[in-house]
């Protein structure tokens, strides 16, 4: 799928990958901080917020946006207008800038207001809110650019992904409003936080990446399960986030609604996995393996007894990174390689290996690991192995920059390429 116009959007990948390296390094340093203490007065909770917000706002979101924009002409059957190209370019740059800004604010202040002389400013909340406004701008230009185009599978998945991004953002606005009005209700705060965190991940990220898999593998989207599994996903997602809220916080009938949603999401994900396993390029298989872990876990926690067990087993961080590092991140790399070629996106197997090792080292940190085998070594191992994806991504970035600069130079030498 490598046309000249598609090469125009490769800068989005290089910048998003640079941000991944910063966020992943923050994650790895967090592991060392948990071992040796945090330097420069940094606080663990703030570093964790900085890591997760940068991964959400500055890695997955702009990487997904850049890849979606690159595929739109092929999927709509018409080139992007110059105006849409300009708007998409400016919005993705703004998304990246605001994401890095929010990272700095969360790292230094967390959710506490920043003090500038006599002025106290909720800087993280302000920058996180500006991030959300830039996403709304992307949605508006996307819908403008795809207006009237046939809603084939990738576009259906991206329409739903963006709608869930908007729905998830209501949770984030809710968190900001409860902070301003000092509303301290554990159920309300859990509902709003998980509406944002989980629907943003399972809705925007997962449907976004599944849309890329469908765009890159049109044969898969013709499978008889493709449309049915998509519908199951889209119907179950709005309430499946209830499964991430501690079981004891929710009345049983509310949790039952969450379980029904989780059942549809789990079956929908398995349907997509079967469809893509048969119809997609092999480079998608590591991401699909992690998605199958996620789909099975989603089906399992529909049962309150298993959900209580997984809370006691302290599997939340593992569960999150199966999805976000295993499926979403490796899925983005597979999509980038299909979209821009193996010459531009090198080292995918190194990253797959590094991610698999990192996720394995999270098991000894949970309570499924026999208590007798616990020890400081489990945290040391997790800390050192956490640098694996950082190094692999650095190699991928350097390789990509070399190809990109070579292309920029060739365009300068041969202006005919610009036309």
Q: Which residues of the chain form contacts with ligand HEM (CB under 6 A)? A: 24, 27-28, 30-31, 48-49, 51-52, 55-56, 59-60, 317, 320-321, 324-325, 328-329, 358, 386, 389-390
At its nearest, how many Å lie between ligand HEM and the CB of residue 172?
13
In the complex, minimum distance from the CB of residue 279 to ligand HEM, in angstroms, rounded to a whole number? 26
Nearer to ligand HEM, 76 or 353 (CB): 353
Beta-bridge partners for 365: none
What sign for the dihedral angle of Cα 99, 104, 105, 111? positive
Closest C-alpha to 42, from 30, 54, 24, 25: 30
User: Minimum Å distance from CB 399 to ligand HEM?
Assistant: 18
Closest CB to ligand HEM among residues 28, 301: 28
d(CA 239, CA 258): 5
Contact 258, 194 (CB under 8 A): no
Burial of 259 (0-12, 13-18, 19+ CB in 10 A): buried
User: Which residue has its beta carbon closest to ligand HEM?
Assistant: 27
Q: How far is CA 220 from CA 47, 77, 79, 162, 332, in A?
A: 40, 19, 24, 22, 18
Of 278, 407, 417, the residue nearest 343 (C-alpha): 407
Identify which of residues 51 and 348 has a Cβ nearer to ligand HEM in the complex: 51
Q: Give the nearer residue to ligand HEM in terms of CB position, either 156 or 321.
A: 321
Closest contact distance (angstroms) between CB of 314 and ligand HEM is: 9
Q: Are 21 and 394 a contacting pair, CB within 8 Å?
A: yes
Closest CA to 213 of 152, 162, 284, 269: 284
Closest to ligand HEM by CB, 220 vs 351, is: 351
Q: Which is nearer to ligand HEM, 1 or 317 (CB)?
A: 317
Closest CA to 195 of 163, 161, 177, 172: 172
| Shortest distance (Å) from residue 414 CB to ligand HEM | 38
Q: How far is the CB of 5 from ligand HEM (least distance, A)?
A: 29
Which tokens go with 166? 């908007």
CB of 358 to ligand HEM, least distance (A): 6
* Closest distance of CB 27 from ligand HEM, Å: 3
Comparison of 223 and 321: residue with beta carbon closer to ligand HEM? 321
C-beta closer to ligand HEM: residue 233 or 351: 351
Closest approach, Cβ 323 to ligand HEM, in A, equals 8
Q: Name residue 116's beta-bridge partners.
A: 119
**Which helix H or strand E contains 90, and what residues bound it?**
helix 82-109
The residues near 274 (Cβ < 8 Å, ≥ 6 apart) are 223, 225
Instruction: List the beta bridge partners of residue 150.
Output: none
Nearer to ligand HEM, 59 or 103 (CB): 59
Count other C-beta atoms under 10 Å from residue 342's C-beta: 12
Angle (CA) 339-341-347 rounded to 5° is 115
Q: Between residues 188 and 317, which has the closer beta carbon with respect to ligand HEM? A: 317
- Nearest distance from C-beta of residue 331 to ligand HEM, angstroms: 11
Pairing of strands 119-121, 114-116: antiparallel
């Amino acid at each position: 799928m490598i046309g000249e116009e598609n090469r125009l959007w490769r800068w989005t990948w290089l910048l998003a990958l640079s941000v991944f390296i910063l966020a992943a390094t923050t994650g790895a340093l967090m592991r060392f901080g948990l071992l040796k203490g945090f330097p420069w007065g940094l606080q663990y909770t703030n570093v964790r917020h900085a890591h997760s917000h940068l991964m959400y706002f500055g890695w997955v979101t702009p990487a997904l946006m850049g890849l979606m924009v690159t595929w739109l002409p092929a999927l709509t059957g018409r080139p992007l207008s110059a105006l849409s190209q300009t708007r998409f370019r400016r919005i993705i740059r703004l998304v990246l800038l605001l994401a890095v800004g929010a990272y700095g604010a969360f790292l230094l202040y967390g959710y506490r207001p920043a003090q500038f002389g006599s002025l106290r400013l909720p800087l993280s909340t302000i920058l996180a809110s500006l991030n959300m406004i830039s996403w709304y701008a992307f949605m508006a230009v996307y819908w403008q650019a795809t207006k009237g185009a046939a809603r084939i599978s990738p576009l259906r998945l991206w329409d739903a992904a963006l709608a869930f991004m908007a729905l998830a953002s209501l949770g984030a606005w809710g968190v900001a409003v409860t902070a301003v009005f000092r509303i301290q209700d554990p159920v309300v705060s859990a509902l709003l936080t998980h509406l944002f965190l989980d629907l943003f991940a399972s809705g925007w990220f997962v449907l976004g990446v599944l849309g890329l898999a469908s765009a890159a593998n049109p044969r898969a989207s013709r499978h008889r399960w493709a449309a049915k599994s998509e519908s199951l996903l889209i119907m179950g997602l709005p309430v499946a986030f209830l499964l991430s809220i501690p079981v004891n916080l929710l009345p049983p009938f509310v949790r039952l609604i969450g379980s029904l949603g989780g059942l549809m999401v789990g079956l929908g994900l398995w349907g997509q996995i079967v469809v893509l396993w048969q119809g997609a390029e092999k480079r998608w298989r590591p991401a699909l393996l992690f998605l199958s872990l996620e789909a099975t876990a989603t089906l399992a926690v529909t049962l309150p007894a298993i959900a209580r067990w997984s809370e006691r087993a302290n599997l939340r961080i593992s569960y999150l990174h199966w999805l976000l590092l295993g499926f979403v991140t490796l899925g983005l790399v597979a999509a980038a390689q299909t979209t821009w070629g193996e010459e531009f996106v090198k080292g995918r197997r190194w990253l797959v290996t590094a991610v698999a090792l990192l996720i394995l080292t999270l098991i000894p940190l949970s309570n499924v690991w026999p208590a007798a085998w616990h020890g400081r070594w489990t945290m040391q191992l997790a800390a050192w192995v956490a640098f694996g994806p950082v190094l692999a991504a650095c190699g991928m970035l350097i390789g990509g920059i070399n190809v990109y600069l070579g292309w920029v130079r060739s365009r300068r030498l041969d202006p005919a390429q610009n036309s």
